[in-house]
Amino acid sequence: MNANKMTQKTLEAMQNAQSLCTGYQNNAVEPVHILTALMQQTDGLIPQLMQRIGINADAFGKAA
């Protein structure tokens, strides 16, 4: 992965995913870590998309 080609939001999500991974004492960043990090971005694209399709982003983010 080339970090120079990532947006600021993507970099933040990847850093948060890594923090989640180490916080749960996992050995590798898994898709669930990335999804959780993306869902926790209050002004990010993923929570907005989830709300547009009728999913409560807050509840989904807490469940992930």
Residue type for position 4: N
Answer yes or no: is 26 within a domain.
no
Q: For 40-60, how does the pLDDT look when each residue is reduced to its tens digit (9 = 90+)?
A: 888 888 888 988 999 887 777
Residue 61 has pLDDT above 70, yes or no: no
Residue 57 placed within a domain: yes
Range of the domain at 43: 32-64
Inside any domain, residue 16: no
User: What's the number of domains the chain is made of?
Assistant: 1
25 in a domain, yes or no? no
Q: Is residue 51 part of a domain?
A: yes
Q: What is the value of pTM for the model shown?
A: 0.78
Share of residues in the chain with pLDDT > 70 (%)? 92
Residue 54 included in any domain = yes
Contacts of 45 (CB under 8 A, 6+ apart): 9
DSSP 1-58: --GGGS-HHHHHHHHHHHHHHHHTT-SS--HHHHHHHHHT-TTSHHHHHHHHTT--HH
